[in-house]
Amino acid sequence: MKAIEVREQVRLPLGRCLELVLSGLKYRLFRAAITVTIIALAGAFLMVMLTDGFTARQVAKTVAERIAPRETFRFWVARISLPLMPLQLADELASAKPGQVAWEEFAAWGRLSAEDLNRLTEAARRHHKYLAYFQNLGEGQRRGLVGAVTDEALFADLADPAKFAAFREALKTSTQQFPTSVEEFQQFLKDWQAAEPTRQKILAGDAAAVEQVKAKFLTGAQTPQALLAKADQNLLDTLTSLGFHIPADILPLLREQATWNLDGKTLISLYVGPAANQTGADLIGAGEGDNGGAETSEEPGNAPKAEAEAGPTRKGVVLVKNLLATRLDVNVTKLNDQMLYHYLTSAEGAKWFVDATACDKKLGLSAKRVQQVAAYVVNESHLEDVKNNVSQVAGSEGLLGFNNRTISLILVSFLVCIVGIANAMLMSVTERFREIATMKCLGATDGFIMINFILESVMQGVAGGAIGVALGFLLGSLRAWSSYGLLALGSLPLWPIVAAAGVALVVSILISAMAAVYPAWVAARLAPMEAMRIE
Amino acid sequence: MSEPPTVKTPPVAGASAGQPKVERPVIIRTRKLKKSYRMGEVTTEALRGVDVEIYRGEFICVMGPSGSGKSTFFNMVGGLDSPTSGRVFIDEVDVAQLNAIELAFLRCRKIGYIFQTYNLVQYMTCLENVTVPMAFAGVNSDEARERGMGLLDLVGLKDRWFHKPIEMSGGQQQRTAIARSMANRPAILLCDEPTGNLDLKTGAEIHQILKKLNKERGVTIICATHDHRLIDMADRIMWIRDGQVERLAERSDVTVETGAIGGTEHE
């Protein structure tokens, strides 16, 4: 019996296959549209996540840059006016390096050699690691391990042998992996306890220095902010002699930030007044007498002049408040700082405010300055908000900066997408049984049928992916805009977004190809005699 | 396509009546062909030992009630399914020994299929439908187009080559399907109730085309049908019942009662 000699059987060029598939897709446009929609949704989801992540990181960087001067200022205000707390010290020690400001300060206060300080910072780093472990535990787990002890007392408490034995037992049943061996931890506890006196010495040195600053400069109503507003080389030298190593090059920064801060305080003091804790009801009660004047907001001079000399007064504050309420057309009890500041960021609002408080000689700010200060304060609160928002997204490490939850969400969305596409393709195969079988009767091989279906899905993947990328970019930017405001628009990074679009597109195509494998196999396996079947 | 060697028909045991005395070239031969289907616990024997020879250039009609094994026989001789035991030779090639690609090759070039439900690809034009098998056979598109138009001319649809199946009548669709089945100049045409879905007049057109193909092109036609006019045209008629060949007779030995189908036939 001779066998068949197979020559050029079904090697359709890709272009012809694509043509066939395209005309088929055009014929079944509605079903294709459904599949494309599924892919587009999954692609859009991935794209939103990617855009969001990239934007968040970019925003985080921008915010960090913009907020840095304020943080430096705040740090030095706290440093010269408040003594260090033990945990704060441990924290700073953990990140201290030779040559840095903090290093010098600690060395001066504790009168420590570089070697001692080295040992101390090394222990502090271990302290940081262990503390992070305990802080990340759930409350119940932590209670089970070490009882109800604060972070501060935690390690001193565990140094007690009885307590440590109990901890050691409890740790055996803990589900959270302890960062090191228990023996190492025990050694650390010993070291940490041994270093306690050294730390106390630093704390005492710092406290003494702060006391001296207080005695020398912060007498009466003088605040550290006001002190830094007038900081000069003299002050710097004095502070250096006390152990505060303020770098000379940040002096202009400190002065500028201090001025913003002080002007901001002046503004709010005219609004809240010296009795900051009085309730709205008090204010309304007190303000009733001035209502006549308050109604005619064009005459702010109604406020008693005698009191104006003594700084922002209760009556003056009430007046400003009432005027503002009238101006903004809200109930005076509902007024808040945000509303005041936002109003003041407009040129009109700033001018009104200067006029309204003209009685008050203390203000001494031009309308323009009021506007700037208000903008500074509004911007600050905005930056703080964004920083809190963004830290949740951008702070996470891992694959593409996604945390595990996001990754699993994305994977689940892909899975759902694959199942959806596979289902749609299976239906498509089922309703084309006869067509497929006929094709096989006409000489189509299993491979051709399979490639045909996978190509079909891939083409849907291309369409769906493109739509998804566009949609996802749009949604992602909208989302970034809504959570970070205008900052987001300037922070949309071009190349990462392009890369994200590429990734989303490729992934869409891949998952549609993967989803089509099973339906295509079902189609390829179909017996050609199905073509004879009559429904 | 080169002419296969002419093979002398060996005497087959149990060959049915009507075996001609002259030696004729055999194109399809089955030997103890058996096919059984497993459906859960039950095994159904669709064919229980069929020995048949079909000659080159012959027009043979296959008859049998539903469930007789007629469809299974069709699938076997069409290279669409492989037997449980026994053998099928198509043009002296043992179908059971072919792999999937060789089967596809065989179906593409040796056999043309005509279905009761036409089975045209709905999103293709008339001409595209006809040229599909040529594409599978590796014919380039210019030649395919030319040949396709020639075939459409043969079935009288040259002017309608750009129509989609949905724009054509049943008869026109079946004519397109016949043109498609002839795409790669097959030696065998396998027709499964070709006029089952057509009215009498259109059915007659199809009959004429099949007859023309058989007479002028020497195509072997195997036709499952209940249409008495078609049976009337056949050279031989084969009855299948209970998975076995009940009778195989020359047309001349059979009386076809025209008008037997509900008495509706008047020509």
Among the listed ranges A518-522, B18-22, B54-58, B136-140, which one has the minimum average pLDDT value?
B18-22
Q: State the nearest Cα–Cα gap between B88 and chain A, in angstroms.
A: 12
Q: State the nearest Cα–Cα gap between B262 and chain A, in angstroms.
A: 23
Looking at the DSSP assignment, which residues form a beta bridge with residue B93?
B90
Count the Cβ atoms, other than its own, within 10 Å of residue A243.
20
CATH code, domain carrying B110: 3.40.50.300
Residue B105 lies in a domain: yes
Q: Which of A348, A301, A293 is nearest to A323 (CA)?
A: A293
The pLDDT of residue A86 is 83
The pLDDT of residue A315 is 61
Residue B106 lies in a domain: yes
Condensed to tens digits (0 to 9), the pLDDT of residues A32-79 reads 898 899 999 999 998 988 887 777 777 888 888 888 888 888 888 888
Q: Which residues of chain B are within 8 Å of residue A21 when distances are taken between CB atoms?
A: none
List average pLDDT for each run of 10 residues in chain A, which is 535 residues long: 58 78 85 90 90 79 83 83 83 80 81 82 86 81 80 81 83 78 84 84 85 79 78 80 80 83 77 47 39 39 40 61 76 74 77 68 69 79 76 54 77 92 91 90 89 92 94 87 74 81 93 94 88 69
Helix A251-272 with A367-394: angle, nearest 10 deg:
110
Q: Which residues of chain B are within 8 Å of residue A434 when distances are taken between CB atoms?
A: 117, 119
C-alpha separations of B199 from A201, A532, B224 in Å: 111, 20, 17
Helix A367-394 with A446-484: angle, nearest 10 deg:
150
Of B75, B80, B138, Cβ closest to residue A8: B138
Residue B185 in this model has a pLDDT that exceeds 80? yes
Q: State the nearest Cα–Cα gap between A534 and chain B, in angstroms.
A: 7
Of B113, B122, B123, Cβ closest to residue A441: B113
Q: Which of B25, B27, B65 is nearest to B221 (CA)?
A: B27
| Euclidean distance between CA atoms A291 and A294, whole angstroms | 5
Residue B120 in this model has a pLDDT that exceeds 80? yes
| Euclidean distance between CA atoms A533 and B116, whole angstroms | 9
Q: Which residues of chain B are within 8 Å of residue A431 when distances are taken between CB atoms?
A: none
Residue in chain B lying closest to A22 (CA): B123
Between A391 and B162, the more confident residue is B162
The pLDDT of residue B168 is 93
The pLDDT of residue A302 is 42
Q: Which residues of chain B are within 8 Å of residue A6 when distances are taken between CB atoms?
A: 101-102, 105
The pLDDT of residue A279 is 40
Say how many domains are in chain B. 1
With b for 16 or more beta-carbon neighbours within 10 A and e for fewer, the B23-48 pattern comes to ebbbbbbbbbbbbeeeeeeeeebbbe
**ipTM of the complex in this document:** 0.84
A527 and B138 in contact by Cβ < 8 A? Answer: no
What residues contact B30, with CB distance under 8 A and at least 6 apart? Answer: B50, B51, B52, B53, B76, B77, B86, B87, B88, B89
DSSP string, A479-508: HHHHHHTHHHHHH--HHHHHHHHHHHHHHH
Among the listed ranges A171-180, A484-493, B41-50, B95-104, which one has the minimum average pLDDT value?
A484-493
The pLDDT of residue A11 is 66
Q: Structural domain boundaries of chain A?
A: 14-67+396-532, 83-255, 275-311+313-361
Pairing type for strands B26-39 and B85-90 reads antiparallel
With a threshold of 0.95, does the pTM exceed it?
A: no
Residue B10 in this model has a pLDDT that exceeds 50? no
C-alpha separations of A244 from A108, A206, A223 in Å: 9, 9, 17
Q: Which residues of chain A are within 8 Å of residue B187 when distances are taken between CB atoms?
A: none
| Euclidean distance between CA atoms A109 and B259, whole angstroms | 122
A6 and B105 in contact by Cβ < 8 A? Answer: yes
Q: Which residues of chain A are within 8 Å of residue B143 when distances are taken between CB atoms?
A: none
In terms of Cβ atoms closer than 10 Å to its own Cβ (0-12, 13-18, 19+), residue B170 is middle
Residue in chain A lying closest to B7 (CA): A1
Of B80, B108, B122, Cβ closest to residue A443: B108
A1 and B93 in contact by Cβ < 8 A? Answer: yes
The pLDDT of residue A509 is 94
Looking at the DSSP assignment, which residues form a beta bridge with residue B47?
B35
Residue in chain A lying closest to B104 (CA): A443
Q: Which residues of chain B are within 8 Å of residue A532 when distances are taken between CB atoms?
A: 71, 74-75, 80, 115-116, 192
Q: Which residues of chain B are within 8 Å of residue A24 when distances are taken between CB atoms?
A: 123
User: Is-contact A244 A105, C-beta < 8 A?
Assistant: yes
Cβ of residue B7 closer than 8 Å to a chain A Cβ: no
Residue in chain B lying closest to A447 (CA): B101
Cβ of residue B166 closer than 8 Å to a chain A Cβ: no
| Euclidean distance between CA atoms A158 and A177, whole angstroms | 18
User: Is-contact A46 A507, C-beta < 8 A?
Assistant: yes
Cβ of residue B89 closer than 8 Å to a chain A Cβ: yes
Which residue has tokens 């535990």?
A: A137
Q: State the nearest Cα–Cα gap between A529 and chain B, in angstroms.
A: 6
Of A6, A28, A443, Cβ closest to residue B136: A443
Parent domain of B202: 55-253
Condensed to tens digits (0 to 9), the pLDDT of residues B19-32 reads 555 678 899 999 99
Residue B31 lies in a domain: no
Residue B40 lies in a domain: no
Residue B196 lies in a domain: yes
Helices (H), A3-85: 14-27, 29-81
| Euclidean distance between CA atoms B194 and B171, whole angstroms | 10
Q: Which of A344, A359, A340, A365 is nearest to A294 (CA)?
A: A359
Count the Cβ atoms, other than its own, within 10 Å of residue A212.
16
Residue B209 in this model has a pLDDT that exceeds 60? yes
